[in-house]
Amino acid sequence: METTKKNLREPIVCVLGHVDHGKTTLLDDIRGTTVAKKEAGGITQKIGATEIDKNTLETNIKNYFKNIQVTIPGLLFIDTPGHVAFANMRSMGGALADIAILVIDVNEGLKPQTIESIDVLKKYKTPFIIAANKIDMIPYFVSSKDTSFKETLSKQRKEYVDFLDEKIYKIINDLYVKGISSDRYDRITDFTKSFAIVPISAKLNIGVPDILMVLTGLAQRFLEEHIQFESKSTRGSVIEIKKEGSLGTTLDTILYQGVLHKGDKIALNTIAGPAVTKVKAIIATGKKGMVEKESIKSAAGIRILITDKLDVLSGTSIIAIKGSKTDAAFNELINESKPDIKLSENGITIKAEAIGSLEAIAYEMEQNKINVREAQIGDITKRDIINVSTLNNPLDRVIVGFNVNTSGDAKEAMETNNAKVISGNVIYSMIDDLTKWLEFKKN
Ligand code: GTP
Ligand code: NA
Ligand code: MG
């Protein structure tokens, strides 16, 4: 019997959370499970992404949970960094994801980037589950590995179970304060009302079958419309850009719609605005390493080679151009490059390397009740300095630059003009510096 429904693509699952809470270790488990069990065509690590196919998914779940019929073609996971500086990557991941895993160290609870991740998921209305990781660090843990949470739990003594409950309740409470109602997944009856918490130990490979089961269940019940395979247009999102000297530029891309062919023309955003370029090669990670492909179907993590000299904008969409659709694609790309930020008549100027981080900074400014007058992508230039130095309100003569450079002549201009630049790659400390500067200027 055909159990894969026609025309579904793999749901894109983004893994988010605070630094060192165990996101990458969890993805290692998801990859490793198949390597260990030598599943043919099992889990492949794609560029920027980890893919698990239907059969592997089914086998992993069915070893522990009998009643689930897998109808999706697999899952495509995207890892994100938890470091404070990578707000842009988290924002991009949240935007791309059909569903997400929020990883929380069960012993540490909610931390700043956990909360930032929750804000991203709320903003994009992305459904998610919570992986309460490092349950092996809870006192009285009776050793277990490579198994489900349920099986691990059945081996534990009462002392451990009480400690675990206490830690999970703390997370439930802290999430509740953030407006999220949650419960341990095996105690939930209505998954539309509560977010599922799956206790895991990524280090000992405990709880992966439970995670896969809950994700698959949610995707099949609530995401079907969302994950219809669409062949009419081909789209992706560039997650990493590398200049390879004379060879050209490679774009690590998550293809989320349609089919991409070698030789296709694609529209994308560059520092100078929308542009069209040609796909010179498509590189994917196959079972035996990197392979060139003539075409690839979504969803997939791929590397695209282009040979035009373009300054591709990090996080840009790529849209395959067929016939004379260039104008529509360009309009879309122009819209995409306009940040979703409320600007005020008076306020500070912010600059960042990408839309996602610009929006993240604007969000933090709003939280701190600091008005933003201007928000732009790109380095801090002499012109920026001159612009802010002529503003009437002395409190507006400041530029906050996130992950951008300040050009040499901008630095010179700073000396002769009355303007302040606060730059760095840690949003919170930049806001600290800014608040201090604003206080100082007021007095
Ligand atoms: P970033 O990508 O830097 O944000 O971190 P991450 O969330 O990907 O965490 P990572 O997987 O790198 O794990 C961080 C550390 O925690 C590593 O030393 C892991 O071995 C350890 N770790 C991860 N999961 C567990 C776990 O379940 N139990 C224990 N004891 N340690 C774990
Ligand atoms: Na880490
Ligand atoms: Mg990691």
Mutate-to-test residue for ligand 1 from 20, 105, 135, highest number of ligand atoms within 8 A of CB = 20
Residue nearest to atom 10 of ligand 1 (CA): 22
To which H or E segment does residue 349 belong?
strand 348-352
Distance 102 CA to ligand 2 centre (A): 15
Query: Which ligand is the nearest neighbour of the Cα of 30?
Result: 1
- Residue 351 has what DSSP assignment? E
pLDDT band at 34; cut points 50, 70, 90: very low
How far is the C-alpha of 364 from the C-alpha of 427, rounded, in Å?
Answer: 8
Q: Which residue has the higher pLDDT, 242 or 88?
A: 242
Digit-coded pLDDT (tens) for 49-79 = 888 999 999 999 999 998 889 999 999 999 9
Length of the chain as a residue count: 443
In the structure, which protein residues have their CB atom closer than 6 angstroms to any atom of ligand 1?
17, 19-25, 81-83, 103, 133-134, 136-137, 201-203
Task: Say which amino acid occupies 422.
Answer: I
From the CA of 90, the nearest ligand is: 1
Pocket test for ligand 1, best of 104, 200, 203 (most atoms within 8 A of CB): 203
Ligand 3 center to residue 334 CA distance, Å? Answer: 32
Per-residue pLDDT at 287 exceeds 80: no
Block residue for tokens 């994009």: 124
Question: Model pTM greater than 0.90?
Answer: no
**What is the band of 39 on the pLDDT scale with cuts at 50, 70, 90?**
very low
Token output for 212: 């896969």
Ligand 1 atom, smallest distance to 134 CA: 27
Q: What is the mean pLDDT of residues 393-401?
A: 96
- Residues in contact with 67: Cβ distance below 8 Å, sequence separation at least 6, in sequence order: none
Rounded distance from Cα 87 to ligand 3 centre (Å): 14
User: What would the mean pLDDT of 425-432 be, rounded to a whole number?
Assistant: 86
Confidence (pLDDT) at 40: 36
Q: What is the pLDDT of residue 89?
A: 80
CA distances, 367 to each of 115, 330, 349 (Å) = 13, 33, 16
DSSP 68-81: ----SSEEEEEE--
Instruction: Tell me which ligand sits closest to the C-alpha of residue 29.
Output: 1
Three-state DSSP at 407 gives coil
